């Protein structure tokens, strides 16, 4: 039995937030002190490092569960399945529903239960649950669904990655420019097709790395704002990723039995353009090779870092012909990979 992706869908928000829109922000250091550079210089350096020129935010009426539903509906329609036959709905996110100008994350009921409700699925045997696994959550949800189908307890699963990071960013933190919103989804099911998921690998590092990404106070120490915002130690994450992600990717390839030269595309979490390029370059260096041209499609320059949504939206956009100069054809072998809060790393080798 093989396990195949039979449908994909994504939701890319309409609101475009360009780098120039941050010119009037009051950026501060973590201790609350002023940064001794004009915003134009700060943003120019940010663009040079991350590759981000603009990002997408949801409009004020939408929450994480709403865009998860919109991506899910597209994936179900694309797969042409009867949604009542779904055995599992797995939703990867990290912050739940945070309403516009809201002060609290809402995760009860689960985002998966909300998505099932919005889809109108009546079958009680369709089980919904949430996956909290940092940015690698969607890949991990897919790995779990693969295990369910292999074991025989499921035949069809819906896996969604959705996040509205614009609701949990500190406007006084330079790192706030990295984050964005979006949702991507797939339907995974048993198939007689020659291919599907060939191998997977996951690792969690917590001795020193557990709190590299965390929830913390605003950089503005003169405010009474008690809300918590997404924060990170960027340099530590960069160094961690360059050492550990290439090795995890190689482990996954070696387990699959696939020749490295047969990999057509690497769909890596869109976290930071320079970091992602360095990861893939080091990955190929482990095989004594140079990184092939065009192997790593990127959307971060226009869409930013939407956490769990970056890999499934990238995959969907390529399959739907929405990413110039990139395509995935029948029989192509691709590598999904991600790194994020936890610190977690995972990868999947997949034959399309």
Same-domain pairing of 223 and 335? yes
Same-domain pairing of 310 and 273? yes
The per-residue pLDDT for 163 is 97
Same-domain pairing of 50 and 36? yes
For residue range 51-81, list pLDDT tens digits in order: 999 999 999 999 999 999 999 999 999 999 9
The per-residue pLDDT for 351 is 95
Contacts of 59 (CB under 8 A, 6+ apart): 13, 14, 15
Q: Tell me which of 175, 193, 211 is where a domain ends.
A: 193
* CA 303 – CA 13 distance, rounded (Å): 9
What CATH number is associated with residue 106?
3.40.47.10
* CA 51 – CA 279 distance, rounded (Å): 15
Same-domain pairing of 169 and 252? no
Residue 104 has pLDDT above 90, yes or no: no
Quick one: pLDDT band at residue 26, thresholds 50, 70, 90?
A: confident
The per-residue pLDDT for 100 is 86
The per-residue pLDDT for 221 is 83
Number of domains observed in the structure of the chain:
2
Residue in the block written with tokens 């869109």: 270
Domain that holds residue 302: 198-351
14-28, 243-257, 281-295: the lowest-pLDDT one: 14-28
Quick one: pLDDT band at residue 114, thresholds 50, 70, 90?
A: very high
Same-domain pairing of 28 and 168? yes
Instruction: Report the percentage of the chain scoring pLDDT > 90.
Output: 81
Residue 269 tokens read as 């979490």
Please, what is the angle between helix 310-319 and helix 64-79, to 10°? 40
- What are the angstrom distances between the C-alpha of 19 and each of 119, 162, 229, 259, 296? 36, 23, 20, 41, 24
Same-domain pairing of 183 and 214? no
- Under a CB-based contact definition with an 8 Å cutoff, are residues 229 and 268 in contact? no
Give mean pLDDT, residues 94-108. Answer: 86
Residue 103 has pLDDT above 80, yes or no: no
Would you list the DSSP string of 288-342?
A: T-PPPTT-S---HHHH-B-GGGHHHHHHHHHHTT-STT----TT-EEEEEEEETT
Quick one: pLDDT band at residue 1, thresholds 50, 70, 90?
A: confident
The per-residue pLDDT for 27 is 87
Quick one: pLDDT band at residue 251, thresholds 50, 70, 90?
A: very high
Residue 270 has pLDDT above 80, yes or no: yes
* DSSP conformational letter for 28: B
The per-residue pLDDT for 277 is 94
Residue in the block written with tokens 């990139």: 326
Q: Three-state DSSP class for 91?
A: strand
Residue 163 tokens read as 């996040």
* CA 94 – CA 269 distance, rounded (Å): 15
Same-domain pairing of 78 and 184? yes
Quick one: pLDDT band at residue 124, thresholds 50, 70, 90?
A: very high
Give mean pLDDT, residues 136-142. Answer: 98
Q: Tell me which of 152, 177, 193 is where a domain ends.
A: 193
Residues forming beta bridges with residue 223, ordered by sequence position: none
- Sign of the dihedral through C-alpha 269, 275, 281, 283: negative
Same-domain pairing of 326 and 184? no
Instruction: Report the percentage of the chain scoring pLDDT > 70.
Output: 100
Backbone angles phi, psi at 333, to 5 degrees: -100, 125
The per-residue pLDDT for 225 is 76
* CA 35 – CA 27 distance, rounded (Å): 7
How many helices and strands in the chain, by DSSP H and E? 8, 13
Same-domain pairing of 20 and 120? yes
For residue range 190-241, list pLDDT tens digits in order: 988 888 999 999 999 999 999 999 988 888 887 777 788 899 998 999 999 9
The per-residue pLDDT for 133 is 96
Please, what is the angle between helix 310-319 and helix 137-151, to 10°? 80
- Sign of the dihedral through C-alpha 263, 264, 269, 270: positive
Same-domain pairing of 209 and 187? no
* CA 155 – CA 129 distance, rounded (Å): 17
Same-domain pairing of 118 and 238? no
Backbone angles phi, psi at 229, to 5 degrees: -130, 160
- Under a CB-based contact definition with an 8 Å cutoff, are residues 218 and 229 in contact? yes
pTM (two decimals): 0.94
Cβ neighbours, 10 Å, residue 175: 19
The per-residue pLDDT for 70 is 98
Residue 305 has pLDDT above 90, yes or no: yes
Residue 208 tokens read as 């020193």
Same-domain pairing of 320 and 218? yes
The per-residue pLDDT for 77 is 97
Label residues 249-272 b or e (16+ Cβ within 10 Å = b): bbbbbeebebebeebbbbbbbbbb
* DSSP conformational letter for 2: E
């Amino acid at each position: 039995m093989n396990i195949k992706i039979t449908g994909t869908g994504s939701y890319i928000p309409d609101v475009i937030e360009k780098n120039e829109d941050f010119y009037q922000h009051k950026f501060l250091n973590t201790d609350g002190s002023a940064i001794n550079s004009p915003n134009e210089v700060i943003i120019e350096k940010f663009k040079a490092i991350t590759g981000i020129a603009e990002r997408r935010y949801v409009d004020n009426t939408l929450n994480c569960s709403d865009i998860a539903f919109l991506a899910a509906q597209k994936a179900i329609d694309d797969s042409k399945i009867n949604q009542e036959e779904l055995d599992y709905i797995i939703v990867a996110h990290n912050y739940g529903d945070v309403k516009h100008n809201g002060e609290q994350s809402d995760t009860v009921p689960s985002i998966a239960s909300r998505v099932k409700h919005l889809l109108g699925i009546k079958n009680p045997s369709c089980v919904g649950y949430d996956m909290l696994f940092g940015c690698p959550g969607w890949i991990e949800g897919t790995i779990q669904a693969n295990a369910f189908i292999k074991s025989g307890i499921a035949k069809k699963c819906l896996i969604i990655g959705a996040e509205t990071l614009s609701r949990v960013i500190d406007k006084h933190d330079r790192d706030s420019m990295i984050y964005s919103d979006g949702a991507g989804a797939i339907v995974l099911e048993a198939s007689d097709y020659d291919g599907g998921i060939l191998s997977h690998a996951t690792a969690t590092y917590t001795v020193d790395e557990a709190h590299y990404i965390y929830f913390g106070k605003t950089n503005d120490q003169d405010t009474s704002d008690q809300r918590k915002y997404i924060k990170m130690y960027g340099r530590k994450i960069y160094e961690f990723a360059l050492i550990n992600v290439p090795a995890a990717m190689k482990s996954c390839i070696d387990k699959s039995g696939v020749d490295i030269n047969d990999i057509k595309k690497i769909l890596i979490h869109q976290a930071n353009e320079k970091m992602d390029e360095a990861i893939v370059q080091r990955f190929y260096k482990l095989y004594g090779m140079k990184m092939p041209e065009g192997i790593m499609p990127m959307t971060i320059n226009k869409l930013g870092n939407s956490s769990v949504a970056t890999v499934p939206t990238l995959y969907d956009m390529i399959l739907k012909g929405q990413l110039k100069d990139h395509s995935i054809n029948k029989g192509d072998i691709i590598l999904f990979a991600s790194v994020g809060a936890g610190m977690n790393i995972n990868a999947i080798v997949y034959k399309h």
